[in-house]
Amino acid sequence: MSQVRVHNFAVSLDGFSTGDGQSHDAPFGHAGGRLLEWFFQTRTFRQMHGEPGGGAGADEAFARTWGPGIGAEIMGRNKFGPQRGPWEDHEWTGWWGPNPPFHTPVFVLTHHPRPSIEMEGGTTFHFIDATPEEALRQAREAAGGLDVRIGGGPTTVRQFLAADLIDHLHITIAPIVLGRGERLWDGLEGLEERFEIESVTTPSGVTHMTFTRP
């Protein structure tokens, strides 16, 4: 059975996974890059953006697990872009340029479906208005037996956790107090009982936690 996985998903000490005030110029709102500093320094991130170098230690080992075995991604609309409500800017094709780093079908959850967008490099964005269960059914079909990644943001990850659809959750705790934004953990009391949990702090100062099914 293919797995449903979350990778490299950052949370602040106070439980926020994105800041307040997302906009075109601030994809993470007032959090800026602070939640993902550890990730920006990895070889995996650099390669995604065609840059050389990057660390090859524990952070990289975790970051690298993001891609292999994944056949489709599901993301929330706020991860795809800053627009809200009916689509007005039809030219917007995501934050990632003409060749997004996904290289698989990507299902964008939205109450406003629109035609699919085929990008370079194998990424196709599909826009669907669906429950987590139905979105997962479609993504699994598109993934051809491979795993499905839940790409975020916080609302989407939270919904899939609440529906008990996630098999592997990798989060990083950033040592910052964001104060406001979107919370990951709301409504997930007792989540730890469903998973085996392992934690490790790396020299960058973040703590990686993996939640896997027993």
Residues that bind a copy of itself (CB under 8 A): 11, 13-15, 173, 175-180, 183, 185-192, 197-201, 205-207, 209
CB of 200 to a copy of itself, least distance (A): 5
- Residue closer to a copy of itself by CB (options 30, 103) is 30
CB of 20 to a copy of itself, least distance (A): 10
- Are 11 and 171 in contact by the 8 Å Cβ rule? The answer is yes
CB of 37 to a copy of itself, least distance (A): 12
- Residue closer to a copy of itself by CB (options 42, 204) is 204
- Residue closer to a copy of itself by CB (options 98, 179) is 179
Structure tokens at 56: 């090859």
Beta bridge pairs of residue 102: none
How many Å apart are CA 104 and CA 125, to the nearest integer?
9
CB of 14 to a copy of itself, least distance (A): 4
Q: What is the dihedral of CA 32, 87, 130, 209, to 10 degrees?
A: -10
Q: How many helices (H) and strands (E) are present in the chain, helices listed first?
A: 6, 11
- Residue closer to a copy of itself by CB (options 61, 176) is 176
- Are 140 and 2 in contact by the 8 Å Cβ rule? The answer is yes
